[in-house]
Amino acid sequence: MDTAQLKKLYGWYLTCSYAYYKMDISLIPDEQYDKMCKVLHKHFYEIQHRYWYVTRPEDFEAGTGYAINWPPELASAIHRWVTLHHGDKLHGTSG
Protein backbone atom coordinates (compact mmCIF):
# COMPACT_ATOMS: atom_id res chain seq x y z
CA MET A 1 0.00 0.00 0.00
CA ASP A 2 1.49 3.35 -0.96
CA THR A 3 1.81 6.42 1.26
CA ALA A 4 -1.14 8.27 -0.28
CA GLN A 5 -3.45 5.28 0.16
CA LEU A 6 -2.38 4.84 3.78
CA LYS A 7 -2.93 8.53 4.49
CA LYS A 8 -6.43 8.38 3.00
CA LEU A 9 -7.28 5.15 4.84
CA TYR A 10 -6.04 6.60 8.14
CA GLY A 11 -8.15 9.72 7.63
CA TRP A 12 -11.17 7.55 6.97
CA TYR A 13 -10.39 5.51 10.10
CA LEU A 14 -10.32 8.71 12.16
CA THR A 15 -13.60 9.87 10.63
CA CYS A 16 -15.34 6.53 11.21
CA SER A 17 -13.97 6.29 14.75
CA TYR A 18 -15.11 9.77 15.74
CA ALA A 19 -18.53 9.25 14.21
CA TYR A 20 -18.97 5.93 16.01
CA TYR A 21 -17.53 6.72 19.43
CA LYS A 22 -18.46 10.40 19.75
CA MET A 23 -21.59 10.77 17.63
CA ASP A 24 -23.09 7.26 17.81
CA ILE A 25 -23.16 6.97 14.02
CA SER A 26 -21.83 3.94 12.17
CA LEU A 27 -20.52 5.03 8.77
CA ILE A 28 -19.36 1.55 7.71
CA PRO A 29 -20.16 -2.04 8.74
CA ASP A 30 -18.16 -3.46 11.66
CA GLU A 31 -16.49 -6.01 9.41
CA GLN A 32 -15.15 -3.26 7.14
CA TYR A 33 -13.89 -1.27 10.13
CA ASP A 34 -12.11 -4.38 11.45
CA LYS A 35 -10.43 -4.97 8.07
CA MET A 36 -9.34 -1.34 7.95
CA CYS A 37 -7.80 -1.67 11.42
CA LYS A 38 -5.87 -4.79 10.37
CA VAL A 39 -4.37 -2.99 7.38
CA LEU A 40 -3.46 0.06 9.47
CA HIS A 41 -1.93 -2.13 12.17
CA LYS A 42 0.22 -3.89 9.59
CA HIS A 43 1.42 -0.56 8.14
CA PHE A 44 1.35 1.54 11.32
CA TYR A 45 4.90 2.85 11.10
CA GLU A 46 4.47 3.75 7.44
CA ILE A 47 1.51 6.08 8.06
CA GLN A 48 2.29 9.69 7.25
CA HIS A 49 -0.58 11.78 8.51
CA ARG A 50 -0.78 15.02 10.45
CA TYR A 51 -2.64 13.27 13.29
CA TRP A 52 -0.67 10.04 13.29
CA TYR A 53 0.27 10.64 16.93
CA VAL A 54 -3.30 10.23 18.26
CA THR A 55 -3.28 6.46 17.78
CA ARG A 56 -1.17 3.53 18.93
CA PRO A 57 -0.58 0.16 17.27
CA GLU A 58 -2.65 -1.38 20.06
CA ASP A 59 -5.70 0.57 18.92
CA PHE A 60 -5.59 -1.11 15.53
CA GLU A 61 -4.75 -4.50 16.98
CA ALA A 62 -7.85 -4.25 19.17
CA GLY A 63 -9.93 -2.87 16.29
CA THR A 64 -10.97 0.28 18.12
CA GLY A 65 -10.75 4.05 18.12
CA TYR A 66 -12.24 4.43 21.58
CA ALA A 67 -9.04 5.62 23.30
CA ILE A 68 -8.20 8.37 20.81
CA ASN A 69 -7.44 11.69 22.49
CA TRP A 70 -9.09 14.00 19.96
CA PRO A 71 -7.37 17.32 19.23
CA PRO A 72 -10.13 19.98 19.21
CA GLU A 73 -9.49 21.07 15.62
CA LEU A 74 -9.67 17.48 14.37
CA ALA A 75 -12.80 16.69 16.37
CA SER A 76 -14.48 19.85 15.11
CA ALA A 77 -13.60 19.18 11.47
CA ILE A 78 -14.83 15.58 11.58
CA HIS A 79 -18.00 16.57 13.47
CA ARG A 80 -18.84 19.17 10.80
CA TRP A 81 -18.16 16.70 7.96
CA VAL A 82 -20.26 13.93 9.51
CA THR A 83 -23.10 16.32 10.28
CA LEU A 84 -23.04 17.68 6.74
CA HIS A 85 -22.89 14.31 4.99
CA HIS A 86 -24.67 12.02 7.45
CA GLY A 87 -26.80 14.36 9.55
CA ASP A 88 -29.85 12.25 8.86
CA LYS A 89 -28.32 9.54 11.09
CA LEU A 90 -28.00 11.84 14.09
CA HIS A 91 -30.34 11.02 16.96
CA GLY A 92 -33.21 13.40 17.39
CA THR A 93 -33.38 14.44 13.72
CA SER A 94 -36.14 13.60 11.34
CA GLY A 95 -35.45 12.21 7.93
* Euclidean distance between CA atoms 30 and 95, whole angstroms: 24
The secondary structure of residue 80, as a DSSP letter, is: H
Helix (H) and strand (E) counts in the chain? 4, 0
Residue 86: how many other CB atoms lie within 10 Å:
15
In tens, the pLDDT along 2-12 reads 999 999 999 99
pLDDT of 59 above 60:
yes
**Do the Cβ atoms of 6 and 42 come closer than 8 Å?**
no
Confidence grade of residue 63 (pLDDT, cut at 50, 70, 90): very high
pLDDT of residue 91: 63
